[in-house]
Amino acid sequence: MAKQSTNSKSTAAQGADSKVRLDKWLWAARFFKTRAIAKQAVEGGKVHYEGQRAKCSRIVEVGAELIIRQGFDEKKVIIVAISEQRRGASEAQLLYNETSESQAKRELSAEQRKAMRGNLGPDVRPNKRDRRRIMQFKDQ
């Protein structure tokens, strides 16, 4: 009889595999380094499930659309597979597909940020002579 009870537990575990929380899926898909960070992002409104804010306990489904904001980037992702285990990056990329529109938008914003970096200022600190000239210019 002990074998029957373990079999029923293993089938229950397999049924539980299809029900995965949003924060756990984000962690398994390697969008966030830890589940705690994934939970904070979801609670902070950085992750939208089907166009709406979601709770971290939300059960994910195949075909659902996620919008994930990380730093300056915003990714629009469609869930392809569900996993609650964190594996290698190559396997994690099989869990979702990023839309081509999202990729183009991220590349464009990255180019704009790169172009703006050139206007920040000099790459080296001013020496003593340069500082004196700067102070003279400001005093005029």
Average pLDDT (120-124) is: 71
* CA distances in angstroms from 121 to 81, 117, 128, 131, listed in the order given: 46, 9, 18, 15
Average pLDDT (25-34) is: 96
pLDDT of residue 116: 80
The model's pTM is 0.71
pLDDT of residue 4: 47
Q: Is residue 137 included in any domain, yes or no?
A: no
- Domain count of the fold of the chain: 1
* pLDDT band at 121; cut points 50, 70, 90: low
Q: Is residue 98 included in any domain, yes or no?
A: yes
| Domain range enclosing 38 | 17-119
Contact call for residues 47 and 83 (beta carbons, < 8 A): no
Q: How far apart are CA 19 and CA 12, in angstroms?
A: 11
Q: How far apart are CA 96 and CA 85, in angstroms?
A: 14
CATH of the domain at 113: 3.10.290.10
Q: Is residue 140 included in any domain, yes or no?
A: no
pLDDT of residue 12: 33
